[in-house]
């Protein structure tokens, strides 16, 4: 019977602290055990955070109107440029709207709790 038991266990807080974690099994010739190396990289810039879309926003008419208004704005250039420009502007507008919406929701919660 032959089994491979090379494993790594990491705490979740350690995983969250590093931008890149890589493991590698080193081939050993004198033993049936194989050492495992762990490479942890911290601080690597992974670029802008992705937009987190909330499905509840679909239910808000204000949000749908915001999207339609922003998408209808005229942009000139190649189709690719138009697409990219509209997506970038939508991202900015949605982030700002979401921040304002969260602030308003928190105010409503605080008013009903008091």
What is the chain's pLDDT, residue by residue, as a tens digit (114 residues)?
A: 566 666 777 887 777 778 788 888 887 777 777 778 888 888 766 666 677 788 888 899 999 999 999 999 999 999 999 999 999 999 999 989 988 888 888 787 777 776
4 and 36 belong to one structural domain: yes
Long-range contacts of 40-46 (CB under 8 A, 24+ apart): 42/17, 42/18, 43/19, 44/19, 44/20, 46/19
Residues 33, 68 within the same domain: no
| 66 and 94 within one domain | yes
Q: Is 17 helix (H, G, I), strand (E, B) or coil?
A: helix
State the pLDDT at residue 71.
Answer: 94
- Select from 3, 71, 11 the least CA-distant residue to 32: 3
Q: Are residues 37 and 78 in the same domain?
A: no
Domain count across the chain? 2
69 and 91 share one domain: yes
Residues 80 and 109 in one domain: yes
Looking at the structure, tell me whether residues 89 and 108 fall in a common domain. yes
Nearest alpha carbon to residue 53 among 82, 84, 91, 87: 91
Give the span between the Cα atoms of 70 and 86, in whole angstroms: 8
Same domain, yes or no: 109 and 59: yes
Domain of residue 36, residue span: 1-46
Asked if residue 85 and residue 42 are part of one domain, the reply reads no
Residues 72 and 38 in one domain: no
Residue 10: the pLDDT is 80
One domain, residues 107 and 85: yes
For residue 3, the model assigns a pLDDT of 64
Note whether 42 and 19 are within 8 A (CB). Answer: yes
């Amino acid at each position: 019977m032959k089994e491979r038991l090379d494993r790594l266990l990491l705490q979740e807080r350690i995983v969250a602290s590093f931008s890149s974690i890589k493991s590698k099994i080193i081939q050993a010739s004198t033993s049936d055990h194989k050492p495992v190396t762990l490479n942890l990289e911290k601080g690597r810039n992974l670029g802008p955070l992705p937009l987190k879309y909330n499905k509840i926003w679909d239910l808000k008419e204000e949000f749908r109107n915001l999207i339609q208004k922003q998408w209808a704005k005229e942009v000139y250039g190649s189709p690719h440029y138009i697409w990219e420009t509209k997506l970038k502007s939508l991202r900015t507008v949605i982030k700002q709207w979401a921040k304002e919406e969260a602030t308003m929701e928190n105010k409503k919660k605080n008013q009903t709790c008091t």
